[in-house]
Structures are given as structure tokens and as C-alpha cells.
């Protein structure tokens, strides 16, 4: 038995309305995240691509702050899960409880029944608990005691983890990592941004002033707009070539999956929409290759001994793989005919 609980996304927004809504969300998040505009935009792009985000970095750089700011910027249901070794799968998905009055079992939804699920330090939970997220992240549904419950739309999991501290943690399995659309690192702020943080956060918590600037219905329309962005066949072939190269590279033991190809294109469409374009460029795929592909691959033992990171391996693949040679102007390119040609042409392709 399936009980639907969400509505299909609404129609796409006009270009000016999409730009206004997306920029409002970005500006809202940047009230509490200083000097990380590219990271904020990528986080929003993952949400518009109907994906999930893994934020991996050292403590204290704003991983949870970014997740909470994105959640608070949207007026929809938000649940936070603090992953600990004693967390049970039923705490995530829900459990059936016997009701003595009705003499029947009632389903009590878990924390995953929300539009935005923030999983703090996800690698501190056992693999058994981590696996509770597999179905909901891929299929947007939860099955408990033979009954399937569909999740609300939009639905996004934003998880954080600390890559340095390994005591008491469980590495994410390959199936779990592959369900995250992108992995990003916050990085340390530059001195100017850190000074602005001291002035803005020292005596007052900026979260107190943060208000929602969008709701679930608007997010569904933003997602529908990103879906309509055009990806030419040459661009899709380039995406396949990037993913195929990870499977053939001698330094990689396990390459990226077909799911990563699909999510690479979806995220590129969202990035193009945020940039004000209704078509995808190969440059979008190049910029997204590391955050979308690097966490999905497993290097060989020799590469690990040589301290070759997956980020460096994917970046090298992007550098050596030639761009598409399709010089035809995209029919979705809305620039004037005399505007200097496409970006492919400007790079001599």
C-alpha cells in the first residue's frame, strides 16, 4: 500500500522570477556564511537538481551552519538528526507502534519525513543506521513493515562529516556515497571574511535575523525550471566521456556509476539556470566534475600510497580530456547573433 503525501512540482518560472527567487535565497544564506559564495551557490544547485549534499571538512568551518542556513531560508519542514553510535534505523525512518485503543499498529514517522533533513556527523552512526537512508535518498520513499510511505517534495538530505577524526566513526559505504549528488568542503575563510565574521557574530547571532524567503511550493517551481534547461547531445556525450574516463584511469580501482552521469547533468542544468542560461556548457561539467565525481571513486592501493587524492585524479582527467568539438550554436542560446559566438568558439574549439 502506498500513501502519497506530496504534490508534483509546479510549472517552470519565468527567467526574471527564477533569478529573483534564487538570488534571494543565496543572499539570505550569505548573511551567516561569509566569503563562500561559490559554495552557497553549489549547495542551492544541488537542491534544484533534486540531489543530496555531503559537506566534508574539519570542525568549526561552518558545515552545519550552511546546512541550517539553507534550511531556514525555505519555509518548509526541517528535521535535524544528530548521528551517534547508538542511533537506530527506526529513529530515522519511523516505527510501527501498537495502539491499545484501536488494537492495531500505528506508524510513527521518523526524522526523515521532512523536506530538508540535516544529518550532523553522519559517519558516527553504524552502517546499519546509515543504510536506513538508502531508500529515501534514491527513491523518495520509506518502507516500514511492508508499507511504503512517499516523502514530501522537495526532499533533500544535507549531511556533514569530519574527515580528520576517525576514532568512533564508520566510513560511508560506496552505496551511501554514491547517493550524494555532490561533496563539498567549506575551507577556511580568508582574513577579510573572518574579520567580518567576528564583527557580525561576536555580539549577535545572525541566525536570529534569518527569515524564510521561499517555501516548498516555490522550490518545486524552481526545480521545474532547472529541469527545463537544455543539455545538447554534445554536452551529454562529454559528460559520459568524463565518467567513462574515471572507469578507465589506471589510478582508479572503482570508477563512477551511471547514476553519477545523470546527476552530473542535472546539477549542470541547475548551475546553468542560476547563471541565467537556459542551456548547459561543457564548462559547467568541468566545474562540477570534482564535487560530483571525486567522492564516488576508489583509488588503487598504489595511488593511496603515493598520496593521490580522488580530487586530484578527477581534476587531472578533466584537464586532459578534450572538450566537445561541436561548434554549432545551441538553439537555446539566447544571446544576440553578433555577441561574439559561443563559449566553445571563444576557446578555439
- What backbone phi and psi angles, to 5 degrees, belong to 114? -160, 165
User: What number is the average pLDDT over the span 18-26?
Assistant: 95
What pTM, to 2 d.p., does this model score?
0.85
Query: Residue 282 — very low, low, confident or very high, per pLDDT cuts 50/70/90?
Result: very high
Look at residue 309 and tell me if it is in a domain: yes
Residue 318: the pLDDT is 94
Q: Tens digit of pLDDT for each residue in 58-117?
A: 777 778 888 888 888 998 888 999 999 999 999 999 988 888 888 888 889 999 999 999
**pLDDT in the model for residue 96:** 87
Q: Note whether residue 217 is domain-resident.
A: yes
Single out the residue of 283, 284, 278 nearest to residue 330, CA to CA. 278
pLDDT tens-digit readout, 187-239: 787 788 778 777 766 666 777 778 899 999 999 999 999 999 999 999 999 99
81 lies in some domain: yes
Residue-level pLDDT at 325: 65
What DSSP state is assigned to residue 23? H
Query: Does residue 22 share a domain with residue 64?
Result: yes
Q: Are residues 18 and 135 in the same domain?
A: yes
pLDDT at 342 over 60: no
| CB crowding 29-56: b at 16 or more within 10 Å, else e | beebbbbbeebbbbbbbbbbbbbbbbbb
- Residues 47 and 19: their CA atoms lie apart, in Å, by 15
CA 186 distance to own-chain centroid: 14
The fraction of the chain above a pLDDT of 90, given in percent, is: 53
- Considering the domain architecture, whether residues 48 and 173 belong to the same structural domain is answered as yes
Task: Mark which of 169, 204, 228 sits at the end of a domain.
Answer: 228
Evaluate whether residue 61 is within a structural domain. Answer: yes
With respect to residue 1, please indicate whether it lies within any of the assigned structural domains: no
Residues 216 and 277 in one domain: no
From the list 272, 259, 179, 273, the residue with the least C-alpha distance to 221 is 273
Q: Are residues 190 and 275 located together in one domain of the fold?
A: no
CB 144 within 8 A of CB 93: yes
Q: Are residues 51 and 13 in the same domain?
A: yes
pLDDT at 225: 96
Examine the fold and report which residue of 228, 253, 288 is the final residue of a domain before the chain moves on.
228
Asked whether residue 349 is assigned to any structural domain, the reply reads: no
Same domain, 179 and 87: yes
Indicate whether 163 and 97 sit together in one domain.
yes
Same domain? For 86 and 235 the reply is no
Question: Residue 74 and residue 48: Cα distance in Å, rounded?
Answer: 13
What average pLDDT does the chain have?
85
Residues 251 and 320 grouped into a single domain: yes
Q: Give the residue numbers spanning the domain of 311.
A: 229-325
Does any domain span residue 3? no
> What CATH number does residue 208 fall under?
3.40.50.300
Quote the DSSP letter at residue 112: T
**Is residue 68 domain-shared with residue 38, that is, in the same domain?**
yes
The whole-number pLDDT of residue 327 equals: 41
Least confident of 56-60, 212-216, 280-284, 310-314: 56-60
> Distances in Å between the alpha carbon of 185 and those of 6, 215, 285?
32, 27, 18
346 located within any domain? no
Distances (CA, A) of 86 to 22, 128, 177: 38, 11, 21
Amino acid at each position: 500500500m502506498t500513501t502519497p503525501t506530496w504534490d508534483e512540482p509546479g510549472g517552470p518560472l519565468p527567467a526574471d522570477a527564477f533569478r529573483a527567487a534564487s538570488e534571494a535565497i543565496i543572499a539570505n544564506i550569505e548573511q551567516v556564511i561569509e566569503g563562500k559564495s561559490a559554495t552557497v551557490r553549489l549547495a542551492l544547485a544541488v537542491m534544484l537538481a533534486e540531489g543530496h549534499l555531503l559537506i566534508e571538512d574539519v570542525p568549526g568551518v561552518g558545515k552545519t551552519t550552511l546546512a541550517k542556513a539553507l534550511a531556514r531560508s525555505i519555509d518548509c519542514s526541517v528535521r535535524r538528526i544528530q548521528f551517534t553510535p547508538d542511533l537506530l534505523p527506526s529513529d530515522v525512518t519511523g516505527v510501527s507502534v501498537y495502539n491499545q485503543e484501536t488494537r492495531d499498529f500505528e506508524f510513527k514517522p521518523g526524522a526523515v519525513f521532512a523536506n530538508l533533513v540535516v544529518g550532523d556527523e553522519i559517519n558516527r552512526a553504524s552502517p546499519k543506521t546509515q543504510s536506513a537512508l538508502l531508500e529515501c535518498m534514491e527513491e523518495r520513499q520509506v518502507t516500514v513493515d511492508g508499507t511504503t510511505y512517499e516523502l514530501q517534495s522537495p526532499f533533500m538530505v544535507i549531511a556533514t562529516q569530519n574527515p580528520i577524526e576517525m576514532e568512533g566513526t564508520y566510513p560511508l559505504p560506496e552505496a551511501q556515497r554514491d547517493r550524494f549528488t555532490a561533496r563539498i568542503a567549506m575551507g577556511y575563510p580568508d582574513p577579510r571574511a573572518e574579520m567580518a565574521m567576528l564583527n557580525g557574530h561576536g555580539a549577535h547571532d545572525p541566525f536570529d535575523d534569518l527569515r524564510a524567503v521561499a517555501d516548498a511550493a516555490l522550490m518545486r517551481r524552481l526545480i521545474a525550471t532547472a529541469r527545463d534547461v537544455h543539455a545538447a547531445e554534445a554536452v551529454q556525450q562529454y559528460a559520459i566521456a568524463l565518467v567513462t574516463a574515471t572507469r578507465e584511469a589506471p589510478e582508479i580501482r572503482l570508477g563512477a556509476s551511471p547514476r553519477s552521469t545523470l546527476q552530473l547533468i542535472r546539477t549542470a542544468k541547475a548551475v546553468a539556470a542560476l547563471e541565467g542560461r537556459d542551456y548547459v556548457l561543457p564548462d559547467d561539467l568541468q566545474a562540477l566534475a570534482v564535487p560530483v565525481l571525486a567522492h564516488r571513486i576508489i583509488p588503487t592501493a598504489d595511488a593511496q600510497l603515493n598520496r593521490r587524492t580522488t580530487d586530484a585524479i578527477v581534476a587531472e582527467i578533466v584537464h586532459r580530456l578534450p572538450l566537445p568539438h561541436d561548434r554549432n550554436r545551441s538553439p537555446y542560446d539566447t544571446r544576440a547573433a553578433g555577441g561574439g559566438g559561443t563559449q566553445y568558439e571563444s576557446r578555439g574549439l
